[in-house]
Amino acid sequence: MTEKQTVNLKINGEEVEAPAGEMLIKVCHDRGLDVPFFCYHPGLVPEGNCRMCLVEVAKAPKPMPACTTPVADGMEIETHSGAAKDARADVLEFMLANHPLDCPICDKSGECLLQDHSYDHGRDGSRMVDVKQIKPTKDLGNGVKLWGNRCISCTRCVRFCSDIAGSGELAMVNRGDSSVVDVFPGYPLQNPLSGNVVDICPVGALISEDFLYQARVWYEKKTDSVCHECARGCNIELQTLNNEVKRIVARHNDAVNDYWICDHGRYTYDYILGPERSLECRLGDSANPANAPGFLARKLRKSADEHGADSLGVVVSAFMNNEALYLLGSLLQELGVPAENIGACARTDGEEEEFKGGFRISADRNPNRRGVEAILGKNAFSSHADDLLKKAKASGLRCLLLVSDMPGQPLADEWIEALDAVEFGLVFLLENDSRIPETVHLLPATAFSERDGSIINEDGRVQLLRAATQLPRGVLSLDELLQDALVELGARESRLSPRGLFDEMAGVVPALAEIRHGDLGEAGLSARGGEE
């Protein structure tokens, strides 16, 4: 006999059909019902210890925790009855009994579940006049600090370290109201996913040193984007204040990274407005970036006319977004430059890491290798690049455009040397590079947080980036610059919006066929030929 797939139950008087075996809390949340919680997390095994999700169940002797109660046929539940509301208010009173009034100095303020639930479900005032429990404040390792007094023993962080990261550094220690999370002396938090425990801590017990006292969250602007530190393309949220990135946190995507990101991706953003950021514009006699499109168009056209289209070469990077790659390809196509003259460079591989809960860090440290392959062909990285270099050495190139926008990895020496051998050399540069000759033209490259566009991860998933920070003064969006250059060349009427640009690109690139910008949403979509 096959097991039943769905069950029928009543929630707040309404008949509901739900998948058999699913937890009540998920069924309620899926229907938009506010069943509050602390220890429950959809990415972790539920424990039911906070008691905040208690709901009234008919015929049950006491309220049941929704996160550990599977739905059953004939169940009748009230999520907002007097009994359920009382249970929540009472649990909150207990939870606040020993919790310090740290809100004014606590980073979590504004995104704290305890604050939110107290406001929504708690009672006014406190009856606790006794001395509160004192627990240690200490470093746990990897830039994670513990304010023990604030810990509510939900064990989310413990479960994360043991089940997802697999390293088990964190544990609840002691018993009763002396319980607190801690590490074994000499064995601090060390795993490459450690920053996630700060994301998931429902209160301000676990704090990131990186973000400590940097910004009040309600002033921040929050923008969806994709991490650029490896080919996984984990979904992130960039949080900015006054146009500066203050923090990167994980964004949920079941198809890519669940609820997690690695520490490297989380903490790598200082370079965006760092001291090495190149803002120099060197366009012949002019230092005015407004001249860039025209300058580029004229110079390239001139070189092609005088020396033949075959004398132009371009090296793109696997860091660039699809639209920029597409436009550069279009520009060169317009000038008749053969496809083989577009090469690509990539960041060197790192170590592949796989974790207990299934999270992976890719060995490929390039966010858009698949984009380059889809738009410029698989050979861009190999034969195109090699042949271009040979051509340059043999003085067969007159015009060379290089994109050096990979943080922490400057262009290989061979390409710098190649610049010496050409008449017209231009580098889109992210980070200062003293090797580049004075005669070479420069335009500042954009950082990923400044881009609106799309990239393709190693599984073939197309995901959207959104600009979180404004371009620094003097920096042009590469997509806009290239479109303007195409307008100058008469190949295009005007600029398109990011949406229009994507759709135009998708109409031309086979891997993106049938995908529209509007389909991508927050979670992206699998490209044709993708592995999903």
Residues that bind other proteins (CB under 8 A): 47-52, 54, 61-63, 65, 68, 87, 90-91, 93-95, 97-98, 127-131, 133, 139, 141, 152-153, 158, 161-162, 167-179, 182-188
CB of 149 to other proteins, least distance (A): 13
| CA 150 vs CA 81, 201, 260, 486: distances in Å | 30, 10, 23, 58
| CA 302 vs CA 40, 298, 343: distances in Å | 64, 6, 21
CB of 164 to other proteins, least distance (A): 14
CB of 152 to other proteins, least distance (A): 7
| CA 516 vs CA 23, 33, 44, 247, 513: distances in Å | 35, 32, 34, 30, 8
Nearer to other proteins, 32 or 61 (CB): 61
CB of 151 to other proteins, least distance (A): 11
CB of 46 to other proteins, least distance (A): 9
Nearer to other proteins, 93 or 387 (CB): 93
Q: List phi, psi (to 5°) of 286.
A: -100, 150
Nearer to other proteins, 152 or 256 (CB): 152
CB of 362 to other proteins, least distance (A): 26
CB of 182 to other proteins, least distance (A): 8
* Separation between Cα atoms, residue 494 and residue 526, nearest integer Å: 30
Q: Could you please report the per-residue DSSP string of 98-160? A: S----GGG-TTTTS-HHHHHHHHH--SS----SPPP---EEEEETTEEEEGGG-----HHHHI
CA 109 to chain centre: 23
Nearer to other proteins, 32 or 185 (CB): 185
Instruction: Say how many Å lie between the first and final Cα of the chain, rounded.
Output: 33
* Separation between Cα atoms, residue 320 and residue 339, nearest integer Å: 18
CB of 69 to other proteins, least distance (A): 8
Nearer to other proteins, 186 or 275 (CB): 186
Q: Are 525 and 462 in contact (CB under 8 A)?
A: yes
Nearer to other proteins, 167 or 257 (CB): 167
Sequence-separated contacts (24+) of 296-303 with Cβ below 8 Å: 296/426, 296/481, 296/485, 296/488, 297/485, 297/486, 297/488, 297/489, 298/488, 299/399, 299/424, 299/426, 300/331, 300/335, 300/399, 300/424, 300/485, 301/335, 301/489, 303/398, 303/399, 303/423, 303/424
Nearer to other proteins, 95 or 527 (CB): 95
Nearer to other proteins, 135 or 461 (CB): 135
Nearer to other proteins, 172 or 412 (CB): 172
CB of 52 to other proteins, least distance (A): 8
Q: Residue 421: CB partners within 8 Å, gap ≥ 6?
A: 392, 393, 395, 397
